[in-house]
Amino acid sequence: MRQATTPTPGSPLATPRGVDLSLLAGRVFDHLEEIGLAILLLAAFFPAAPPTVFALIDPDYVNMWSLRLGPANLFELAIAALAAAWAIRLLVVPPKSTEFDRPLAILVLGLAALQALALAGSLDDVRYLQADLERIFLLVAGYAIVTRCVRDRSALRRFTLILAGLIALRALQLILAHGLRGETGFTTILDRSALLITEDGLLLMLPVALAWGALVDGRLTLWGSIGAVLGTAVVFVVNLLSLRRGAVLMIGAAVAVRSLGIGARRLLLSAAALLLIAAVAVAAGPGRPLFDQVRYTVTSSLLRSDDDSSSQRKAELRNFDRNVDGLEWVTGRGVGVLWRSETRSPIDIVAFGGDENALTRLGWHVYGLDWAYKFGLLGVAMVLAAAVALGRRVHRAYRGADGAGRWLLYSLAVCAPPFVLLAFTNPRIALMAGICVGLLSRCCDLWSPRSAGEPTI
């Protein structure tokens, strides 16, 4: 039986073990990596866009991304707290670096210098600076947290699979709750409600790329291969029936690029089998609506459909030309700068939030115009040059990687460009863009020639 102790004169009072703040702080600082990755997984699980049109037009609707304490939402506050704790730990722990740090730092400095020129002539039109800076912050935060918190190959693989699983799980929940049992309120050309209208349609690219990549690389059993094919088909059907043109085209391109390692003979046989199944389905009747949706998706994406969708995007291209003039084609107009809808289209689809109206806009529906409008042709050239530099690093790591490393490198490499391209359209996509680039950088670190002796996963 322990004897009760009494404090001696001049000695500090003992702190109860249950509230030992120093021990608690020590544990937090020892597990900052796990805390950082948990924040990313939690943020990636919650959609930023409203799941229904009714929620979109409801001024009282809030979700985890729109619920704010001051200028920041809960995820951003958590990231800021993590950054503060990390800065304190850097006083005793040396900083880490990663493969992509140098080229990305050069890119950031170049774009920042370009912004000084661009914003000098656009200060009167800066209205959406907070929205743009939020997306830039999340992109950088996703990259920084992943590159500093993923310790080894096993942790990288585990985090990537959990992230992909959470995205797939959330998309399934949204489809069941709003697409099948409820109504999203978005009507497609088939005169039915879309199954999924959040950004999850695009983010499903990550689980598709990983599953299809594992299939192509021969890493799956027979039943695993069947599951990968069926899962990929379901993603395409959902996006087609939901009229998610960007998701269909970009995921389709990712699957096509990821299939290049399958071998010409197997690729031709697989394509022939899919075409035969599609032809039978169309001829039998049930597949015709889906075929019509495919044809419409392609024609409308090429601005060849005779409807409001093509008219709106053609109007945006004309508006881009009207809003950019002279040197602005080189430097861009700057982040946070509005654009004016001088050429009206038959339909206005304002879905980027803020105080947009029929004449004052923030985002563009034509892919890539966000980057060109904010950073100009010179900024876009800088981004492409950085992409080439990063691609060379990825290719070098890919040649020296084992099977697991090649699977992750190839699959992540087809996801990162579309996510970065659309980073300014949605905060969750911006975060996912940073995460994917960060995971690629850690893959290059862990499968570089310098780490050849590390055990594989």
The pLDDT confidence band at residue 269, using thresholds 50, 70 and 90, is: low
The two tokens of residue 422 are 């659309």
pLDDT average, residue stretch 419-442: 96
The pLDDT confidence band at residue 457, using thresholds 50, 70 and 90, is: very low
CA dist 142 and 146 (Å) reads 6
Classify 339 as helix, strand or coil.
strand
Q: Which bin fits 303, alpha (ψ -120 to 50), beta or left (φ > 0)?
A: left
Residue 100: which residues within 8 A CB-CB, separation 6 or more?
Answer: 143, 147, 390, 393, 437, 438, 440, 441, 444
- Say if residues 451 and 156 touch (Cβ distance below 8 Å): no
Residue 66: C-alpha distances to residues 327, 365, 428 (Å): 36, 21, 11
Supply the pLDDT for residue 275: 62
pLDDT tens across 307-354, in order? 555 566 677 788 888 888 889 999 999 999 988 776 665 555 444 445
Which is nearest to 202 in space by CA: 253, 159, 142, 270?
A: 253
Residue 337 half-sphere exposure, CB side, CA atoms within 13 Å?
25
The answer on pLDDT for 1 being more than 70 is no
Which is nearest to 33 in space by CA: 149, 126, 115?
A: 149
pLDDT tens across 271-299, in order? 665 566 555 554 544 455 555 666 656 66
Q: Name the more confident of 326 and 457.
A: 326
Supply the pLDDT for residue 321: 85
Answer positive or negative: Cα dihedral of 367, 373, 377, 381. negative
CA dist 337 and 369 (Å) reads 13
Q: What are the beta bridge partners of residue 107?
A: none
The answer on pLDDT for 394 being more than 50 is yes
The three-point CA angle 217-219-224 to 5° equals 115
Answer positive or negative: Cα dihedral of 106, 108, 110, 112. negative
Residue position matching structure tokens 């099948």: 180
Supply the pLDDT for residue 243: 78
Supply the pLDDT for residue 354: 52
Classify 301 as helix, strand or coil.
helix
- Parallel, antiparallel, or unpaired: how do β-strands 68-69 and 72-73 relate? antiparallel
pLDDT tens across 77-119, in order? 999 999 999 999 888 888 888 989 999 999 999 999 999 999 9
The pLDDT confidence band at residue 265, using thresholds 50, 70 and 90, is: low
CA dist 68 and 64 (Å) reads 8
Residue position matching structure tokens 């880490």: 96
pLDDT tens across 115-172, in order? 999 999 889 889 889 999 999 999 999 999 999 999 999 999 999 999 999 999 999 9
pLDDT tens across 190-236, in order? 677 888 989 999 999 999 999 999 998 889 998 998 899 889 989 98
The pLDDT confidence band at residue 15, using thresholds 50, 70 and 90, is: very low
Residue 236: C-alpha distances to residues 69, 74, 247, 306, 408 (Å): 38, 32, 8, 24, 22
CA dist 270 and 262 (Å) reads 10
The pTM score is 0.86
Q: Name the more confident of 31 and 386.
A: 386
- Parallel, antiparallel, or unpaired: how do β-strands 339-340 and 360-361 relate? antiparallel
Supply the pLDDT for residue 382: 96
- Give φ, ψ of 348 to 5 degrees: -115, 125
**Where would I find the H helices in 326-423?**
328-331, 369-400, 403-421
The count of other CB atoms within 10 Å of the CB of residue 181 is 8
- Say if residues 111 and 380 touch (Cβ distance below 8 Å): no
Supply the pLDDT for residue 397: 94
Residue position matching structure tokens 């937090």: 28
CA dist 348 and 220 (Å) reads 46
Supply the pLDDT for residue 155: 95
Supply the pLDDT for residue 325: 87
Supply the pLDDT for residue 319: 82
Share of the chain above pLDDT 90, in %: 49
Supply the pLDDT for residue 381: 96
Q: What is the mean pLDDT of the chain?
A: 83
Residue 416: which residues within 8 A CB-CB, separation 6 or more?
Answer: 433, 436, 437, 440
CA dist 423 and 132 (Å) reads 10
Supply the pLDDT for residue 453: 47
The two tokens of residue 217 are 């690389």
Residue position matching structure tokens 């071998």: 263
CA dist 161 and 207 (Å) reads 8
Residue 254: which residues within 8 A CB-CB, separation 6 or more?
Answer: 205, 208, 209, 414, 415, 418
